[in-house]
Every structure is written in structure tokens, then in C-alpha cells.
Amino acid sequence: AELDRFVVLGIGGSYMGARALFEALRHRWHNELPRAARGGVPRLYFEGNNVDNDTLAQLVGMLPGEGEPNATPEDRWGLTVISKSGGTLETSVAFRLFRRTLEGLYGADSDEARKFVVPITGETGRLRELSKSKGYPAVFPIPDGVGGRFSVLTAVGLLPAAVLGLDLRALLAGAADATDDFFSAEPGANPTLDYTAVAHVAEVEHGMHTRILCTWGNRLEALGLWYDQLLAESLGKHEQGALPLTVVNTRDLHSRGQQHQEGRRDKLVTNLVVERPSEDVLTIPEAPAELDQDELNALAGTPLPTVMDAAIRGTNQAYAEDDRPTADFVVPTLDEYAMGQLFQTLMLATVVEGRLVGTNPYGQPGVEAYKTNMNAILGR
Ligand code: PA5
């Protein structure tokens, strides 16, 4: 509550889960709302997931730093740096850049420069050592054995969620209930096992090697990108593993939709449907008859969720009529509980599928090759 802005630095699994929560559960234009409309919640920015000079320079340049010693409350900002290994170059470089700016604002030896930096890292490693040297009062652990892409329900996701004022108990309750369902529900009423079975059979018996997660609406795109990484990094080993692809409909019906309707029969589409909107329902406005050139008066008064429902049903029908199968995940409304369920179900499904195909879903040895080469090229 003391801060106006908060920066999340991380890459891969140490980043996407928090971003998924932000996009799904906060106002789409959160950062542009006045503080009161944000409920006092800081504006949130994500970086450290690349070495893109320009985007880094733009965000660092936007944040108050050296030369602004009389910072007003609106200037106060902080950051979390998330890295399990503590040695990921992209995140480390970003941390150094942002730290310099933050220390310029508060003073390198000030309490604020320590208090407003919250590292989240493994028990050992460079970031852990640096945190000790800097004397940061709050350093949150990433438990041993929990890889980045499986860590969203640790401090990695929970700290940014707390900064955003989200209901952490509901998030964890959703995940816990998904785990209970996984252990107790019969196949046919067990989302984890049902999804795994459908995807596995589609792949091995029908050659559907592309797994499309189709989110209806804009708020779950980052969740889809989190899942893309989860599936690709966990099961894309030994020359195996489906190709994950997130689409946002109806947007992508106007781009990828052509290929999904008439392209190779190598795709399983799984719809991710939210039944009820969170905001007041909009209806299509009526226009004067002389301004009905768009011929929308025939639909005047129709709620937008009804239009979305027609799009979902119409698309599934078109696929079915061409013998292209679809599966559905349905949540009643998008809230912390549903996000906990989705995260946990997709993580469990990935692990179960790993067992099914004989692939260890943990670890990402293939990611090391580029790191070794990049560091050698940089003489590091
Ligand atoms: O899922 C994973 O394990 C990876 O995507 C890592 O999160 C990513 O490579 C970043 O690693 P680290 O958290 O060690 O900085």
C-alpha cells in the first residue's frame, strides 16, 4: 500500500503465472486507473524476461530514480526479483538495472532500498548470496523440487498476487479442491484425468500433435501462455511432446481460424470457457432507423455474453461437422478460486501425462544448451 508501482522481474515459469493472475483477475487497464479506482493497489509491470534493450530502457526510464530525492508518495516503487537458480542472465541483468534506479531514488543504504526489494529464490545460488550481502529483510524461498513452471502457487505467484490484493486463500482453496477431485473423482467426472486421456488418445491414436488451448475472451491469454510453457518445457523431450498453442477467440478466428477449420487434421482444440462475466453485462444498443446501415438493430438488446455463446457454439458445430473434435474446460466465473483450479488441474495433467508417456516432466536440460553457448560467446 506504500507503493504506487511494483515491478516483477523474472522469466519463464518464474514470471508467467503471476502475469496470468494479473491479466485474469485485475481490471484490463489497471495501470491506467487512478489510485483510488485501483483500491490503493500498486500499478504492476513485468520485465526481466528478455534482454530487449528498448523495452528495458523504456520501463527503467519511466520509473523515478536518481535526482528525484524528494519522492512524493506517487513516486514510490518497489520490485520483486524471481529466480529459482538465481543465475538466469536475463533476470540478473534486469535486476541490476532496476536496482540501480531504485537505489538512486531512495539511496543505496536506505531502509527503503532494502525493504522495497523482495527476492524470491532457491535456498542457494547467486541471488541468494547477493540478497544476503544486500541485507534484504524479506527473501522468500522457492522450495527445492518445485521447478519454475510448477511454482505459481508458491511465493512466486503468491507475492505478486498479494501485492495485487487478490484473495490468496481462495486461490489455494481452488487448487486444493482440484487436487482432491483428482484423487477422488471417477474418470468421466475427473477434469485432470479426462483432459489427459482425451489429449493422449488424440495424439497417439489420431496424430493430433498440436494442442490448442482456445480461450474465449481476452483475460486468459496469459494463462494460456503459462500453459504453453508448462507443456512444452515439461514434455518436449526425447523427440516427443505435443506442440502447445494458445489462441484467443473470437480474435483468432479471424487469423488462425482458417487453418483450424480446414488445415491438417493434427489439432485437438480444448476450449476454455468462462460462463459468467465479472462486469455488468453490456447489450447491443439500438440506433435510429436511419443509422441502421450496420443492420445491428435486429440484435438490439442482445447481451454480449449471448453473442459470445453463439460464437462458441457456432465454432464447435463447424468443427464437429467436419469431424474435428473439441474438448471443453468450463468455469462458472473467473475468480481466484477458478484460477487455482485451472493452475492445479493443468499442472497435474502435465505430470500424469509425463508418467503415461515415460517422460520426466521436471527439469529442462534442453534449455541449458543456449545458456552455455551464450555465456561462452559473452566470455562469462
Ligand atoms: O519452468 C522453468 O523451470 C523455467 O521456465 C524457469 O522458470 C526459467 O528458466 C527461469 O529460471 P530461474 O527461475 O532459475 O531463473
The per-residue pLDDT string of the chain (380 residues; one tens digit each, 9 = 90 and over) reads 689 999 999 999 878 999 999 999 999 999 999 999 999 999 999 999 999 999 999 999 999 998 776 667 788 999 999 999 999 999 999 999 999 999 999 999 999 999 999 999 999 999 999 999 999 999 999 998 898 999 999 999 999 999 999 999 999 999 999 999 999 999 999 999 999 999 999 999 999 999 999 999 999 999 999 999 999 999 999 999 999 999 999 999 999 999 999 999 999 999 999 999 999 999 999 999 999 999 999 999 999 999 999 999 999 999 999 999 999 999 999 999 999 999 999 999 999 999 999 999 998 888 888 888 998 999 98
Distance of CA 125 to the CA centre of its chain: 25
pLDDT at res. 69: 63
Ligand 1: which of 11, 237, 350, 370 to mutate, judged by most atoms within 8 Å of the beta carbon?
11
> How distant is the alpha carbon of residue 182 from its chain centre?
22
Q: Is the pTM of this model over 0.85?
A: yes
CA of 83 to the centre of ligand 1 (A): 7
Residue of 19, 49, 82, 85 to mutate, ligand 1, most atoms within 8 A of C-beta: 85
Which of 12, 23, 84 has the alpha carbon at shortest distance from 48? 12
Q: What is the pLDDT of residue 310?
A: 98
Single-letter code of the amino acid located at 85: S
- Any alpha helices (H) in the chain, and if so which ranges? 13-25, 53-62, 89-106, 111-115, 126-134, 155-163, 168-184, 191-206, 221-235, 257-262, 304-321, 336-357, 365-377
Q: Examine the residue annotation and report whether 2 is marked as an active-site residue of this protein.
A: no
Predicted local confidence at residue 71, as pLDDT: 67
Please name the residue whose Cα sits nearest to atom 2 of ligand 1: 148
pLDDT recorded at residue 13: 86
Give the model's pLDDT for residue 93: 97
90 is catalytic: no
**Which strands form 326-333's sheet, in the order they lie side by side?**
243-249, 210-216, 267-276, 326-333
What count of other Cβ atoms lies within 10 Å of the Cβ of residue 365?
Answer: 8
- β-partners of residue 326 are 269
* C-beta separation of 228 from 293 below 8 A: no
C-alpha 276 – ligand 1 centre gap (Å): 34
Output the furthest CA–CA distance in the chain (Å, rounded).
Answer: 72
Contact 152, 18 (CB under 8 A): yes
Conformation bin of residue 194: beta by default, left when phi > 0, alpha when psi is -120 to 50: alpha
Q: Is 18 in the pocket of ligand 1 (CB under 6 A)?
A: no
Q: Is 115 among the residues known to form the active site?
A: no
- pLDDT for the residue numbered 70: 63
36 CA to centre of ligand 1 in angstroms? 35
DSSP 3-state percent helix, strand, coil across the chain (nearest 5)? 50, 15, 35
Q: Residue 328: which H helix or E strand, with range?
A: strand 326-333
Amino acid at 360: N
Counts of helices then strands in the chain (DSSP H, E): 13, 9
